[in-house]
Structures are given as C-alpha cells and as structure tokens.
C-alpha cells in the first residue's frame, strides 16, 4: 500500500509522514531530500544549478539513494552521504532550481517509483506524490496550515541559527516558496480531488496530525 503525503512548506508533513510510517511499519521516503541531494552534489562539483542543460547532463549519471538510520533519513549520491550539505540553511535557492528542472524530475520520479515498489508498503512525502509519482496511491493526504502559523514554526526553528530573522521576513519567504511550488511547470504542488485534507494549524505536534490521518484511513475502512 502506498500513502502519498503532499503539502505546503512547513506544514508539518515531514514529521507526520515519518511518524505515520513508523506507526504502520511502512518505509518512509522523503522525496524532498532527493532534490536536496542533487542540489548539494551540483554545488559541491561547481555545476551551476540554474544551468538546466548542465544539470540535466549530470543527473543521468547520478545514483540517488535514501538510507534510513537511527538518526533519520540520509541521502546518498553515487554512494556519498551528502545529507549535511543537502540540509544546509542556505541550500534553498539551489534546491528550487533543481526542483524546476524537468529532466531531474523525470530521473527522480522514476527513482521514487522504484523505491516505493521495492518497499511494498510505503509513505512517500513531497509535492507531486499523489499527482505524478503515485497517482494510484491507495491513500492521499494534502497537508497544510495557515501561512502565519507556518511562518511562526519556521521562525522558531531558524532563529537560533539566524538571530536577526523577523516573522515578517519568514512569512514573505514562506509565501514565495508556496508560489514557486504551486506554479512549477512540471511537478507543481496540487491538491488532488481524491486527497484527504489535513489542516495542522491548531495541532500541537505530529502525534495529533498522525491521529487525524489514521482516523481518516479508518473511515475509509482501512484496518490501521
Ligand atoms: O520538502 P523539502 O523542503 O525538503 O523539499 C525540498 C525542495 O524540493 C522544495 O523546493 C520542494 C521540492 N520538492 C519537489 O519539487 N517535489 C517533491 N516531490 C519534493 C520536494
């Protein structure tokens, strides 16, 4: 069974997806980490992420893998662990370029489909899982939250690293990320008609979000 979780940035979908997979004993697949890994590889090797042809040439020779460890999911590119670089605070703009690249998306979508099929039972999390990667997923969730609340959560996470940050700046950046995710020419964030909406605005944490997801699945007669 495939569970597709798509949604907006900082909506809490990653922590919920991880916890849901753990509860069900399913494999968790963080597809955003794969886009991040390709961005980190390009950065490391001096490939300009906005040079779409150069990126496309390289990506065909990359082996992008995810590995689960006790400390969380890691991304490996051609066997090298690039997780730290892939999750660095200043990787955002590079990742957006990579996520806009049509050829990168073709390669990563195929890798994600392979990982999902190999797992058998999997929770995949991203932007285009229910629309492109697994349009036939048995369960699709669309996770979001009010933009002010998402900005508050990001501020709380990022303030220790960047003490000068303001709520207004984070809110503006969050709206810009939403716009970029929603208007991407390929693999744009869309709410599929068969998706179940999960609004996390008033949730205290992933436990509550997972409880909502499990309740929705039980209502669909899944034995979870
Ligand atoms: O979820 P995240 O912030 O780690 O995602 C990193 C980037 O990759 C972000 O710009 C959105 C993009 N992304 C995507 O386009 N499609 C996915 N399935 C997952 C992530």
pLDDT tens column, 2-46: 999 999 999 999 999 999 999 999 999 999 999 999 999 999 999
Q: Is 143 in the pocket of ligand 1 (CB under 6 A)?
A: no
Q: Return d(Cα 193, Cα 140) in angstroms, integer.
A: 10
| pLDDT band at residue 143 under the 50/70/90 scheme | very high
For residue 161, pLDDT beyond 90 = no
Closest ligand 1 atom to 96 CA: 10
How many Å lie between the centroid of ligand 1 and the Cα of residue 35?
6
pLDDT tens for 61-112 read: 999 999 999 889 999 999 999 999 999 988 988 999 999 999 999 999 999 9
How many Å lie between the centroid of ligand 1 and the Cα of residue 223?
30
| pLDDT band at residue 166 under the 50/70/90 scheme | very high
When pLDDT is averaged across residues 55-62 and rounded to a whole number, the result is 95
Q: Is 96 in the pocket of ligand 1 (CB under 6 A)?
A: yes
For residue 137, pLDDT beyond 90 = yes
Q: Is 95 in the pocket of ligand 1 (CB under 6 A)?
A: yes
Mean pLDDT rounded to a whole number for the chain:
96
For residue 141, pLDDT beyond 90 = yes
Q: Return d(Cα 118, Cα 182) in angstroms, integer.
A: 29
pLDDT of 18:
97
Helix, strand, or coil (residue 140): strand
Contact present, 161 and 25 (Cβ < 8 Å): no
186 to 50, 79, 100, 125, 198: CA distances (angstroms): 16, 28, 7, 17, 24
pLDDT of 89:
83
Q: Is 36 in the pocket of ligand 1 (CB under 6 A)?
A: yes
pLDDT of 158:
87
Helix, strand, or coil (residue 99): helix
Rg (CA), the chain: 17
Contact present, 130 and 142 (Cβ < 8 Å): yes
Picking from 126, 48, 59, the residue whose alpha carbon sits closest to that of residue 94 is 48
């Amino acid at each position: 069974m495939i569970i597709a979780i798509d949604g907006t940035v900082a909506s809490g979908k990653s922590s919920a997806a991880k916890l849901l997979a753990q509860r069900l004993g399913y494999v968790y697949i963080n597809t955003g980490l794969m886009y991040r890994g390709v961005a980190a590889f390009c950065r490391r090797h001096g490939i300009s992420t906005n040079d779409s042809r150069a990126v496309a040439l390289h990506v065909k020779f990359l082996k992008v893998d995810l590995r689960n460890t006790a400390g969380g999911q890691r991304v490996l590119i051609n066997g090298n662990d690039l997780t730290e670089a892939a999750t660095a605070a200043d990787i955002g703009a590079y990742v957006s370029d990579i996520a806009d690249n049509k050829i990168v998306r073709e390669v990563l979508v195929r890798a994600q489909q392979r990982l999902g099929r190999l797992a058998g039972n999997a929770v995949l999390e991203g932007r285009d899982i229910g629309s492109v990667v697994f349009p036939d997923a048995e369960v699709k969730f669309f996770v979001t939250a009010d933009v002010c609340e998402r900005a508050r959560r990001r501020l709380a996470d990022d303030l220790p690293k960047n003490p000068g940050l303001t709520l207004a700046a984070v809110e503006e950046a969050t709206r810009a990320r939403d716009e970029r995710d929603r208007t991407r020419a390929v693999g744009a964030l869309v709410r599929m008609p068969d998706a179940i909406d999960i609004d996390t605005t008033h949730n205290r944490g992933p436990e509550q979000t997972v409880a909502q997801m499990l309740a929705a699945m039980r209502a669909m007669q899944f034995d979870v």
